[in-house]
Chains A and B, each alone.
Chain A
Amino acid sequence: MAAVQETVDRVRQIDVDQYRYGFETIIESEKAPKGLSEDTVRYISAKKNEPAWMLEWRLEAYRRWLTMEEPKWARVEYPKIDFQDLYYYSAPKPKKTIGSIDEIDPEILETYKKLGIPLREIEALEGVVRPEGERRIAVDAVFDSVSVATTFQKELKQAGVIFMPISEAIREHPDLVKQYLGTVVPTSDNFYATLNSAVFSDGSFVYVPPGVRCPMELSTYFRINERNTGQFERTLIIADKGAYVSYLEGCTAPQRDENQLHAAVVELVTHDDAEIKYSTVQNWYPGNSEGKGGIYNFVTKRGDCRGDRSKISWTQVETGSAITWKYPSCILRGDNSRGEFYSIAISNGYQQVDSGTKMIHLGKNTTSRIISKGIAAGKSQNTYRGLVTAHRKATNARNFTACDSLLIGDQCGAHTVPYIEAKNASTLFEHEATTSKISEDVLFYCVQRGLSQEEAVGLVVNGFVKDVLQQLPMEFAVEAQKLISISLEGSVG
């Protein structure tokens, strides 16, 4: 009992100020004037040398956004955001046009180095000798609003894979972008997605041609650096017939007292027999121990299994952000298509998480699987919100959902809000959810065997999230495991 009390006490003194990625990079940047208007939209579009159709697309979204209201249904609370008090565009000021990776501001390279992200292919090859067969990862690094470097371009090109900042894709592959942009998350989708459509500045674009298995993991690292900056990235990934791609995204931001807004949109499209695996390790700054500062992470992610036998799998490890509002979803349109959602959401301090997924079964013989692990500590609120629905024609739809919550301390809350809807008799849906705390017996057993209290809790937590961690690519899984420990640091070790 005393041991448990100690844990609880530690949770109460939780120190999220230990955020390890909270350093700021001092570089000169170029910003759009503060506030949001048609002029801001035009400014961003002009900065990106966009074609006229793209500007029109943005302006239409902006005008629609003016008529919309912020969603209120999520279990999160925050003061009203003044959308006129934000910068919508911030780019590291280029000393000159960047021709190669060597010309990137060394400060930025240093930042990514601190984050442990190898931007330099050479670096990746020298230094540590990599074991035979280790996978390489192509990286697109987004700093505030713009992409600063994309690695392994040449090798990908050989395979026919297009992996580039979306701003470039708009110029270089306008037909592809036009064909897919906004078809999964329409500009009118929701308040934040519409805002993103108007002001997104960069993000990644991936196109994998028919029959191609992308030769390496693709990865994007997002970094918000500038003060009072909203980051609105847009990612579009298309896997053509029979293609496969695994995509990883990582997110960090410096510590700041004020809240920063992040409203991203991610669209995935899979054609017949294609597969996209999308993994996220989100570690935006969560705010300090008093709940001050932190990122508002309002994200719309959706995949469209457009083709038969196609598959989209979302894996997320969410440890950061003051507020997370995020429901990576799958539209299972193609017959025999499959959607997966694996999630670990950890909240501590004053963090608020409202996350989950939607599995929308439209095609025949579609299957989906949801495994969600929520861990609430400190004074945080952690909500799973999910929808599984089978439409009338979605015969033989199958879903399995397991969502489990773990509570650490008695000042936090864990909530489960699933919506399960079936409109035909051949549906087979199974859903189970549990909420519990770490068993005192288990803790005592571990401590008796010589583990410290922190180690014991860490052990239990790692066991709790194991099913989901296994879904991550190896390199990320190790990283994520560390991150989970850090997120609960001060409380559990």
Chain B
Amino acid sequence: MNVALAKTTTGAVLDGTFAAARGRLPGVGTVAETRQQAFDDFARTGLPTRRIEEWKYTDLRNLLRDVAPLAPAPDQAALAQAAKLVETLGTGDTQKLVIVDGVFAAGLSDLTSGGGVTVHALSAMLDDATSATRADLLRSRIVDPMIALNAAFATDGMLIDIADDAAPARPLHIVHVATRPSVAAFTRSLVRIGNRARVTLVESFVATESAKAYQAHDAVVIWIGDDSDLQHVRVMEDAGDAANIATAIVTVGARTKFNTFSLTTGGGVSRYQSFITLAGVDSELSTNSVHLLRDKQHGDCTFVIEHAAPNCLSRELFRAVLDDRAHSVFQGRINVHQIAQKTDGKMMSRALLLSDEAEIDNKPELEIFADDVQCGHGATIGALDDSLLFYLRARGLPEKAAQALLIQAFVGEALESIVNDDLRDVAISAAERWLESRA
């Protein structure tokens, strides 16, 4: 085996980390081989640097320096802490699937199947030697070093299957809890949604007080069939010195609606990269992303939307509010394939800079090979409007309150996109927590 040395800033050899982790990683045979291949793919580039165009503004080799050692499986104390935290999430009545430090916590989760919903832990499926296709669970169509790294190390995650015509009453809710400092958790979930199904999927990233400087590496792969509807909400409130590097790979069928929302207030270094392919005709995609960042937080929101079928509509909306020395990155690319006539694609990115030291990098891209299309993007960067602030202050609002009101309005459009009332409230209160801690 010819394994190149994995490059990290410190020059440390990740090989050792991988070798040490192997014994704990679920799956043998083809699964183990797939992991090795994935690791080799990662090792060829190492942590991405700014020299890789897709990672130009998020140089992980500089920001992360290294991949932390694999988190140990949670003990009883960790599980107890996690259980407490999950209770405070306030997401209403959801079917919770809790993953603690990268390991599925059956005791904290609701594995009820029925009504067309089937749920399994990924680790169990990887270990299932009778499944000929189990190695596929670690494969993906996107070539990216961090997705490869995730495949090599993934310890657990959820496997969710929604049958044709199913419409589960409760949202499915994957909760990631970090409890330990200076370790890395690798999770991977796969969600398969049949035809004519209606589903709400929630993802939360939270941490107990003892979790510091940890890394959460996550990947979610979603297939949505025809005539279906998926409402997706992701709220990332990881510790302010943690890293959260996550990928969503979504394939959307015909006449399907996919509405996804993400809020990032946590993480010292974060990237949420989504690769969404509109593979069937007449589908509608709506993405709404919000960054509320402060201190020295670095947040990256990256979208690659493939219009691979005719007559689809996509709307991407991004809002960033940046205080102190925060750095936000938005990269949004719309690729319109030659076959995708009648595409209607629009993207709007707006950033609000509250501090002179905050920084925003914006790269909205259009790549268009079909002629009968309407595509556009817009981007604005600016500070709070002085005349609006004065108007509010002249009406009696103190400065911070006036700012807060304008910030709420600024991110309001994105928050309003969440259809489910409980979930919208969860996102709004996460945003309010951020605003209150400013004052």
Contacts and interface: CB of A to CB of B under 8 A. Distances in A.
> Do A and B touch (CB < 8 Å)?
yes
Interface of A: 8, 73, 392, 395, 405, 407-410, 412-437
A214 B335 CA distance: 47
B366 A420 contact: no
18 contacts: A73-B53, A392-B356, A413-B367, A415-B365, A415-B367, A416-B367, A417-B363, A418-B365, A418-B379, A420-B363, A422-B359, A422-B361, A422-B381, A428-B381, A430-B380, A431-B378, A435-B368, A437-B373
Contacts of B351: 422
Contacts of B361: 419-422
Contact of A435 (B356, B357, B366): B366
Nearest to B338: A410
B355 interface: yes
Given A410-B370, A413-B368, A422-B359, A429 B379 contact: yes
A405 B374 CA distance: 10
Contacts of B374: 434-436
Interface string B377-392: 1111111000000000
Contact of A418 (B363, B368, B370, B375): B363
A409 B371 contact: yes
Between B341, B367, B383, the greatest number of chain A beta carbons within 10 A of the residue's beta carbon is seen for B367
A424 B327 CA distance: 11
B358 interface: yes
B114 interface: no
Interface residues of B, number: 35
Contacts of B368: 405, 407, 413-415, 435
Contacts of B372: 410, 437
A434 B355 CA distance: 31
A395 B371 CA distance: 41
B420 to A, nearest CB: 32
Nearest to B374: A436
B354 interface: yes
Contacts of A73: 53
B381 A429 contact: yes
Contact of B356 (A409, A424, A432): A424
A434 B359 CA distance: 26
A431 B341 CA distance: 25
B364 interface: yes
Nearest to A399: B381
A433 B366 contact: yes
Contacts of A407: 368, 370-371, 373
A425 B354 contact: yes
A415 B366 CA distance: 5
B27 to A, nearest CB: 39
A426 B372 CA distance: 39
Nearest to B347: A433
A413 B365 CA distance: 13
B376 A410 contact: no
A408 B371 contact: yes
Contacts of B373: 407, 435-437
Contacts of A410: 338, 341, 369-372
Given A410-B338, A415-B368, A435-B373, A420 B382 contact: no
Nearest to B370: A410
B367 A437 contact: no
Closest A-B pairs by Cβ, 8 of them: A425-B353, A420-B362, A407-B371, A434-B376, A431-B379, A416-B366, A429-B381, A435-B375
A148 B349 CA distance: 52
Nearest to A436: B374
B363 A419 contact: yes
Contacts of A430: 378-380
Contact of A433 (B359, B369, B378, B380): B378
